[in-house]
Structure 1
Amino acid sequence: MSGPVLARRGFLSATAGLAAALTLAACGGDGGTTAAPSGSAAPSGSAAAQGWSFTDDRDKKLDLPKVPARVVAQVGSAAALWDFGVRPVGVFGPHKLKDGSRDPQVGNVDITQVQGLGNVWDEFNVEQYIALQPDLLVSNMYVKGTLWYVPEKSKDTIEQVAPTVGIMLTGKSATEVISRYEELAKSLGADMAGVPEAKARMEAATQELAQFKDLKVLMVSGGADAFWIVNPPEYPDIKHLTAAGLNVVTPEKVDEGGFFQTLSWENADEYEADVILYDTRTQALKPEEMMKKPTFAKLPAVKAGQLYPWSAETPFSYQGYATFLEELVANLKKAKPLG
C-alpha cells in the first residue's frame, strides 16, 4: 500500500479507525454474539415465533424466522448494545489491554463473559466464530458497505456463517447513531433498563456545552510520524458537539476521504486553539509522548495546561455519551480563552 493509504489507515485505527476503513474493500462480516438483555433472557415464545426483521444502514433488510439470540459484535457495536441490555456472546476489535483489563473502546462489556475473536486490526478468528454458532454479527461502518474490523481476507467466509448488520457512523450525528442502536436493541428484545435516566443526563450535559462557545477547540490524534487534525462533519461525536455550540476547528485542507488533515509534527502549530482534545485510544500517542515533540509542546493550549482527553470511540449509547459529555464539560470549565 502506498503512503497516502497507509497514512489514512494509521489515523483511522489510531484515531477513529477511519483510515483503515478506507483501505478495506467492500462490506463483510457477520457475527454473532447474541443478545440476552440484561436481567432477562433472549426473546422466546410468541415474540420469537413472530420472526425478526431489521433494515440496516446498507439498506439491507434482514428477515429471520426468530429473534437472533447469539450475537457477535465489533467492540464499538458491542459496547452500545450492552448499555441497552443486549449481551453479545463474542466481540472483535480492541477489547483487552496488555494487562488483561478492558480496553476503553469496549465500554461496559464484561470481557470475561464473552469470547474474544480478535484484539487488533485484521485479526478475526473465523474458527472460533463458527464455533460460537452465531445468529447475527453487528458492526459499525465508516464507509458504507464496509463492516469495521471485519478483515477483507476472510469477510466472504464470515458472511456465510450468519447474517450481518451494519450501522453507519460517517456524516451522522451521535443522536442519530444512538437511535439506530436503540432500535436494533429493542428489536433484539433488550429491556432498556436505565436508558431514560441516561438519556436525561446526556441531554443535560449537552445543554451545558453552549457556555463554552468562546473557546476555540482543536481535536487531534498523534502518531509516531504524523499529527492528525480531525474534520468535525465526519464524526458523530464532534457533529454533536458543534451542534450544541462548541467551536471546533475545521482543517483547511482535508486528506482524501474527508476524515482529517495529516500534518508533520514540525507543523503541529498550523492551527490556533484555546483547548486541545486528544485521542485517548490505545493506538494513539499519550500526552507525555506528544510533549516530546517540540512544536507541540510550545502550543499555547499545551503550555496553559488546557489539554484534555477525547474519547474518540465513545459507545453509542445514552450511558456512554452521558459520561463522555459530563467529563468534557468538567474539563472545559477549567479552561479559558488564550487570545
Structure 2
Amino acid sequence: MEQSAWRFSDDRGQLSTAPSPPSRVVAYIQAGATLEDLGVRPAAVFGSFHDDWTEPDPAKIGALPRDGISYLGAGSGLSVDALLSTGPDLVVAVSYGGGQVYGLDPEVAKHLEERVPVVVLDVGQARSLADIRGRFADLARSLGASREDAAALTDAEERLRTVAARTPSPRVLALSPADPDQVHIARPGAWPELRGLAGHGVHLIDPGAGPGANWLTAPWETAAGLRPDIVLADVRCNAAPLDTLRSQASWRALEEHAHVLAWNPESPCSARAHAAFFGAVADALEGV
C-alpha cells in the first residue's frame, strides 16, 4: 500500500516534508529518549557541549537501549558527516528558545538542514511541561507511534496533588552541584518540570535576587541556609558527583536535614517520564 506524504511543522514554524514518514531518526539524546518512550526508536543520538564525546550521559539515556543505538558524539567535534553517518532521514533536536538548535554549532546545524529534514522542538522556559510533552507526542504520532501512558500520568499527578496538599508543606530546593565550593540553585520559574511540580502544589524554594536567569550560583552555605526538606540534585555528567561533596560541611548539613532525590533537568519529555518524576517527588514528600 502506498504511504502518504509526511509533513511536520516544528516549534520554529519550519515545515519539514518527506514522501513518507521518516524511519531512521537521529536525535539529541533528550529527544531520542523521549521518542523511545513514545514508541519511536532512534537509529542514533548525540549529546550537547556539556556531554562526554565517547559515551552518552547515563542520566539522560532514559529507556534507550545501550546496545543497538549509535552514540555519535557531542560538542564542537560533532560534524555534519558524523550526524549523517547512520543515514538518517530525519534529525530531531531541541531548543531553549529563539529557534537555536541546542548542542550543535550553528554552522553545523545550518549545513545539516541542507542535507536532511531537521525538526526542532522548544523545551525552554517559555513552554509548559504539558505543551512540551504534547509536541513530542504530536511528532511521534506523525511517525506512526501512539504510546503515551496518559493514565499513569493522570494517576501520578493526582497522587502528587494529594500529598503536596498536606500540612506542613515540605520545602523543595532544586540545585546542580558545581564543585565543592559552589552550587547552582535553580530558579523554579525557569524550568518547566519545576513549574509542573509547583502547579500541583509542591512548595519550591526560590533562591532570591541575583545574577543568572536559570540558576543562582552561590556558595554551598547559601543552599544550606535555605533549609530545604527535599533537595532535587542534578545528576547529569556535567554536575559535580554527589559523592565528591561529602567533605564539604554545608553539603553534609543538607544531607543530614533533607531528603536528597536525583534529578535530571533534561529528562525525557514523555508522559511515562513525567509520571515517574512526579511519583518520585510524591514518595519524597510522604517520607519527610
TM-score by length of 2: 0.87
**Preserved CA contact (<8 Å) 2:33 2:268:** yes
Whole-angstrom distance in 2 between the partners of 1:206 and 1:117:
38
Q: Please say if 1:185 is aligned against 2:129.
A: no
Whole-angstrom distance in 2 between the partners of 1:178 and 1:154:
27
Among 276, 285, 288, the residue aligned to 1:323: 276
Tell me how far 1:110 sits from its aligned partner.
1.6
Among 69, 90, 100, the residue aligned to 1:146: 100
Whole-angstrom distance in 2 between the partners of 1:75 and 1:313:
9
Q: Please say if 1:116 is aligned against 2:116.
A: no
Tell me how far 1:291 sits from its aligned partner.
2.8
SS at the partner of 1:80?
Answer: helix
Q: Please say if 1:86 is aligned against 2:40.
A: yes
SS at the partner of 2:231?
Answer: strand
Among 215, 235, 247, the residue aligned to 1:260: 215
Unpaired runs of at least 5, structure 2: none
**Preserved CA contact (<8 Å) 2:157 2:278:** no
Deviations 1:179-224 (A, max 9, x none): 11111100111142x6244334443444345235611111111112
Tell me how far 1:255 sits from its aligned partner.
2.8
**Preserved CA contact (<8 Å) 1:78 1:91:** yes
Tell me how far 1:270 sits from its aligned partner.
4.8
Judge which range, 123-132 or 83-92, deviates more. Answer: 123-132
Q: Please say if 1:243 is aligned against 2:199.
A: yes
SS at the partner of 2:76?
Answer: coil
Root-mean-square deviation (CA), in Å?
2.6
**Preserved CA contact (<8 Å) 1:202 1:319:** no
Which amino acid is the alignment partner of residue 286 of structure 2? K
Kindly report structure 1 stretches of 4+ aligned residues shifted beyond 6 Å: 96-102
SS at the partner of 2:8?
Answer: strand
**Correspondence list, 1:71-110, <5 A:** 71-93=25-47, 103-110=58-65
What corresponds to 2:177 in structure 1?
222
SS at the partner of 1:63?
Answer: strand
Whole-angstrom distance in 2 between the partners of 1:125 and 1:281:
23
TM-score by length of 1: 0.75
Q: Please say if 1:137 is aligned against 2:88.
A: no
Whole-angstrom distance in 1 between the partners of 2:154 and 2:266:
21
What corresponds to 2:157 in structure 1?
203
Among 163, 170, 173, the residue aligned to 2:117: 163
**Preserved CA contact (<8 Å) 2:188 2:204:** yes
Judge which range, 98-107 or 244-253, deviates more. Answer: 98-107
Q: Please say if 1:127 is aligned against 2:97.
A: no
SS at the partner of 1:150?
Answer: coil
Which amino acid is the alignment partner of residue 285 of structure 1? A
Aligned residues: percent identity?
A: 25
Whole-angstrom distance in 1 between the partners of 2:78 and 2:56:
20
Whole-angstrom distance in 2 between the partners of 1:137 and 1:273:
40
Tell me how far 1:318 sits from its aligned partner.
1.1
Which amino acid is the alignment partner of residue 102 of structure 2? W
Whole-angstrom distance in 1 between the partners of 2:77 and 2:154:
38
Tell me how far 1:98 sits from its aligned partner.
11
What corresponds to 2:189 in structure 1?
233
Judge which range, 305-314 or 164-173, deviates more. Answer: 305-314
Tell me how far 1:243 sits from its aligned partner.
0.3
Tell me how far 1:116 sits from its aligned partner.
1.3
Q: Please say if 1:308 is aligned against 2:261.
A: yes
Change (3 A) 1:254 1:72: farther
Deviations 1:252-284 (A, max 9, x none): 22434x111111345444533222221121221
Provide the aligned length of Structure 1 versus Structure 2.
283
Deviations 1:269-308 (A, max 9, x none): 453322222112122123332332223333xx43224222
Whole-angstrom distance in 2 between the partners of 1:212 and 1:253:
29
SS at the partner of 1:233?
Answer: helix
Unpaired runs of at least 5, structure 1: 1-44
